[in-house]
Chain A
Amino acid sequence: DAGVTQSPTHLIKTRGQQVTLRCSPKSGHDTVSWYQQALGQGPQFIFQYYEEEERQRGNFPDRFSGHQFPNYSSELNVNALLLGDSALYLCASSLWGNPDEQYFGPGTRLTVT
């Protein structure tokens, strides 16, 4: 039973560039949430996707956008990268309406120079 997978593992980008991060949810899960974790802090919720629609959004600017595909996988896009976007980006998968399960992927570490 495959768990949550994310790609790439690490990424280095320059200010102003755009980046796309990818996530495949755990088998049987249909909901994907994205989190940003700055160094030394807890994860901060970016947004959540279910049935290919953004269902909830945290306090992040429009530079952060996403997509969910029919196979439940998801992408996180960040435009016009800032130095402050450097963080660990975590994807979490769950089953819609089932609150007792949420599993995280290994994360993508983004460095913006």
Chain B
Amino acid sequence: AQKITQTQPGMFVQEKEAVTLDCTYDTSDPSYGLFWYKQPSSGEMIFLIYQGSYDQQNATEGRYSLNFQKARKSANLVISASQLGDSAMYFCAMRPWAAGKSTFGDGTTLTVKP
């Protein structure tokens, strides 16, 4: 069974500062992918970044980076230079390598203050 834990129900950050959203996971699958999605109030789930379990380097996509620590089973999302438009719900998800189902955490609501 897979489990994703996001321990921060809500986070606040000042505009232009960096913020880290926590995610820990548990799985027995030897190969898997980790995803972060942004969900604004409109409801659409927007893909942000992906990290494969065998990737040696941490993934980066523009202002997003994933701090992957396999031994600790953590996959934290770092958003640099926060913008007001970053205010949304953020979900961490895991998916086995064999294209199976994705398991999501309960999400973190990020509020960016001007």
Contacts and interface: CB of A to CB of B under 8 A. Distances in A.
Interface string A70-108: 000000000000000000101010101111111111110
A39 to B, nearest CB: 11
Interface in A12-58: 31, 33, 35, 41-45, 48, 50, 56, 58
Interface residues on B, range: 20 to 34
A103 B53 CA distance: 19
A56 B101 contact: yes
A98 to B, nearest CB: 7
Interface of A: 31, 33, 35, 41-45, 48, 50, 56, 58, 88, 90, 92, 94, 96-107, 109
Given A94-B99, A99-B32, 20 more contacts: A31-B99, A35-B102, A42-B91, A42-B104, A42-B105, A45-B101, A50-B99, A56-B100, A88-B43, A97-B99, A98-B99, A99-B31, A99-B52, A99-B99, A100-B52, A102-B95, A104-B44, A106-B44, A107-B45, A109-B43
